[in-house]
Amino acid sequence: MNTSELNDTAHKILDVAEYYTQTRGFNAFSYKDIQNEVGIKTSSIHYYFPTKQDLAITMATRFNERLKVNLGELSQKYKSAMKRLEAFNIMQIDIVAQNKFCLCGMLASDIHGLPKLSNGKLDQFFDLVESWLVEAIKLGQDQGEINASLNPVNVASTYLATLEGGMLIARAKKNTKYLEKILNETLLGFASH
């Protein structure tokens, strides 16, 4: 499915569902909540997304599509790997500053209630981020900015786990600076000395 083919109403529904998922959790809202925000009947929401599972899959698909574009833009804009990673950190810090959490991280926390998402949509998100991080780390090693002795795949996995855990703790503490400190320290650990 290419979500760019969806009409404005479907995107409004997805926008509200995404906001609720990132701020409340996927199981903490209903179609009735979306109805009140979008101003359409729940039967209309069911027309676009027959089940909440369908909504979750489409929401994750759209999120991955946008993330792929955003990461591509960071790669184009920043030729320095460290600048690229710093810009990525800022994107994540901005999410927490808006009292949100990573959409796919939130969906992953509800994975047992979302069996259809186990078909790979969440894996696609995490794989996309890890692959992008591996590419940035390898670039940084080639540029002499990142320690050449580090294993890019292991570092990317550790970085992603640190990011997701850091977001969760920063959100619980209501302290964006907590995440900023963790991510900055992580980047310092990558640097060539």
Domain residue spans in the chain?
3-190
Q: How many CB atoms lie within 10 A of CB 172?
A: 10
**CATH code for residues 3-190:** 1.10.357.10
> CA-to-CA distance for 43 and 46, rounded, in angstroms?
5
Q: How far apart are CA 128 and CA 151, in angstroms?
A: 18
Single-letter amino acid, residue 144: G
- Residue-by-residue pLDDT tens, the chain, 193 positions: 678 788 999 999 999 999 999 999 999 999 999 999 999 999 999 999 999 999 999 999 999 999 999 999 999 999 999 999 999 999 999 999 999 999 988 888 887 777 666 557 788 899 999 999 999 999 999 999 999 999 999 999 999 999 999 999 998 999 999 999 999 999 999 887 6
Half-sphere exposure of 63 (CA within 13 A, CB side): 27
Residue 118 near residue 34, CB atoms below 8 Å: no
- 0.75 exceeded by pTM: yes
